[in-house]
Amino acid sequence: MLNSLAGPTIVGTLFETASPDDLKAQYCGVHMWREAIQQVLISEAELHCRIQALGRVIATDYQGRELVFVAVLKGALMFSADLARAVDLPLTIDYIALSSYGNRHVSSGQVHILKDLSESITNKHVLIVEDIVDTGISLRYLWDHLMSHHPADLNVCALLDKRARRRVELPIKYAGFDVPDAFVVGYGLDYQQRYRNLPFIGILHPEVLTPEP
């Protein structure tokens, strides 16, 4: 049975009895992909409500300033689109793509730029729009990269904050939700490029994750 959009999914029995390979075949396939979600952590309604509130605060803070969103692909795709519509100000949106995870679920610790800015941010009021800050390594790299373009100011808006795993600290001026130390997917966040189109944030069943060497 497919998950409902709002409630948690209990799939414990199935996950306990099948082998890891069987599980991957069943739950990463096209038919039962939603069954790989162990728990809905943040519902669609909660996301909507929080993003509207963040938008109102950002609109107040940036009143009268030339605001540029620099959203990080692909994870912040949904978030940046919804947040931009919640900020009642003229703004521009640019996208940058970084790579640190590849198809893994643990950061390699090595970040590089896959797609750079399209427009100049010099003397602009720049807001980094991130899906999740985990170790903080990607954000640190991006921060330094953007600062080298001399924006008027630079701040961070992250939908999710996974503090337990932080290795590099940077101020997150606007944060949506704290999340526990678990691998989360949905609303833009992926595992091996899947699950981005779930409308909620869910915890992926650990059995689905390929063990890290």
Does residue 161 have an active-site annotation? no
Nearest-angstrom CA–CA distance, 183 and 205? 8
Nearest distance, CB of residue 56 and ligand IMP, angstroms: 24
Q: How far is CA 152 from CA 91, 95, 169, in A?
A: 15, 18, 22
Of 62 and 79, CB closest to ligand IMP: 79
Nearest distance, CB of residue 181 and ligand IMP, angstroms: 9
Of 75 and 151, CB closest to ligand IMP: 75
Nearest-angstrom CA–CA distance, 54 and 57? 5
* Distance between start and end Cα atoms, the chain: 33
Of 34 and 162, CB closest to ligand IMP: 162
Exposure of 157 in the CB half-sphere (CA atoms within 13 A):
26
Of 89 and 117, CB closest to ligand IMP: 117
> In which order are the strands placed within the sheet that holds 67-73?
112-115, 91-99, 67-73, 125-133, 153-161, 174-178
Of 58 and 142, CB closest to ligand IMP: 142
**Active site residue: 82, 134, 161, 190, which one?**
134
Query: Using an 8 Å Cβ cutoff, are 162 and 133 in contact?
Result: yes
Binding site for ligand IMP (CB under 6 A): 72, 75, 100-101, 107, 130-139, 162, 183-185, 189
Nearest distance, CB of residue 105 and ligand IMP, angstroms: 7
Nearest distance, CB of residue 201 and ligand IMP, angstroms: 9
Nearest distance, CB of residue 204 and ligand IMP, angstroms: 8
Count other Cβ atoms within 10 Å, centred on residue 163. 15
Catalytic residues: 134
